[in-house]
Chain A
Amino acid sequence: MKRKLITLLIILVCFLLESSVFHRLSFASVKPNLLIVVTSSFGFMRGKKEGMFVGFSAGLLADLFWGNALGFNMLLYAVIGYMNGSFKRMFYDDDVKLPIVLIGASELVYGLSTYACVYMLQGDFAFFSYLFGIILPELVYTILVTLILYQIILHINKKLEAEEQRSASKFV
């Protein structure tokens, strides 16, 4: 229960930060995608199922307030969370390379599918201007933010896990 509340709180805080603070911190009118960082890191830290539900809730918020069709971001983030979940076995706490590669890949998948589903379907084929104007700058900025945000999420997760283990051993 406590874990669920804290996870929800992390998603909400990232959502609020992204729509207020990071709008002012944007470089070349591009802001990082915090929700992808959260979804992806919960995916490979906690497994497919939790990644999927974190992605689902993050996507729900994004759809309600930023998107134009309810369901699109929900599906996209849920699938990204699920995909990241399958890397759980390769994940170790002290390794920072895998998280960065995974988060970068998730961000790329997010950017490409948003372009494909929203702009390409409207008949807008200027792929490279979107790639170099939005997708890649967003990727770089997101990875920079990951370096800090990921450490915070990792730390919170470690604390929660330690607490869960303690209470589990108490009851057995």
Chain B
Amino acid sequence: MKNKSQSSFSSKYWLIIISVVCVILLGIERFTDGGGPLRFIAGYTVIPMQEGISYVGRFMSDLSDNFETLDEMKKANEKLQSKVDELTTDNTRLRQEQYELERLRELYKLDENYSDYEKIGAHVIANNGSNWFATFTIDKGTLDGVKVDSNVLAGSGLVGIVTEVGPNYAQVRSIIDDASNVSAMMLSTSDTCMVRGDLELMSDGRLHFEKLPNNDNVVEPGEQVVTSHVSSRFLQGLFIGYVSDIDVDANNLTRSGYITPAVDFSKLQEVLVITTTKREMTGGEDTGEGE
């Protein structure tokens, strides 16, 4: 009997110790950023395992791709061929316009060219295991030039932003995460708005936008939305998605609605990381907590 009461005392004792440790850790986290040594150790132990698992996963999906029939491949090839033709004509037209643009830029002495950022490819090696956040881990880190606030793309669209970086991995918060806010603009009218992730919309992969001025500029579903020139963390002109729904707010001053992103967030495998951050590009001025 005595023995039993002793053991229950010691487990209570442990509970108190653990609670105090956790509360202290939460407090420390409040005042410093980054997890320090613990994250460092985790980066070298758990990340390689995640890399291994995702490698096996990729191998398996490659293997299943191999079983596609020749017929399907032929069809796909035909479709792609016609697409290539289409794009070639497009490309020549665009190139002509590019020359014209360059000439005009020289005239205006606009030396900033936003179209070609330096990018590196990365694999998504792990997703967030809880249902409350939409973050993922990639297999490139500081050693490859990834920094905190680097923008992440997949295909043609914006995926997210690096929030935490280790030597060989980086944590990316996708734009559909509840905590994500992106300063964006309508491509044709250049009106700025805020694109906000929402946990309720996360399951159908949509985004919410708000604070679009209710002016005379007509914005219709299908309008392209890109990152804005006033954003302090996102580079200008990265494609976010298409407007799918738009309504005037009750205050009659702003408009809000929904965006269908250009990226399918449920099937992310490879992403591109832009290694220059907006802060470096604007010369390291601290624009504050803007977003």
Contact = CB atoms under 8 A, between A and B. Distances in A.
B233 to A, nearest CB: 17
A151 interface: no
Given A20-B53, A28-B203, A64-B42, A134 B131 contact: yes
B18 A64 contact: no
A60 B38 CA distance: 9
Interface string B111-142: 00000000000000111111111010100000
Given A48-B8, A48-B11, A72-B26, A20 B199 contact: no
B202 interface: yes
A70 B25 contact: yes
B129 A31 contact: yes
A17 B148 CA distance: 27
A97 B35 CA distance: 40
Contacts of A104: none
Contacts of A78: 15, 18-19, 22
Q: How large is the interface on A (under 10, 10 to 19, 20 to 34, 35 or more residues)?
A: 35 or more
Contacts of A119: 132, 178, 199
Interface of B is mostly: helix
A119 to B, nearest CB: 7
Interface residues of B, number: 45
A56 B20 CA distance: 13
B11 A66 contact: no
A99 to B, nearest CB: 20
B29 A62 contact: no
Contact of B26 (A69, A114, A118): A69
Q: Among B25, B38, B54, B132, which residue has the most Cβ atoms of chain A within 10 A?
A: B132
A129 B42 CA distance: 34
A108 to B, nearest CB: 14
B23 interface: yes
Contacts of B50: 16, 19-20
Given A33-B129, A64-B38, 16 more contacts: A12-B46, A20-B53, A20-B126, A29-B203, A33-B130, A35-B129, A52-B14, A62-B129, A65-B137, A66-B130, A67-B130, A71-B22, A71-B24, A75-B18, A119-B178, A133-B200
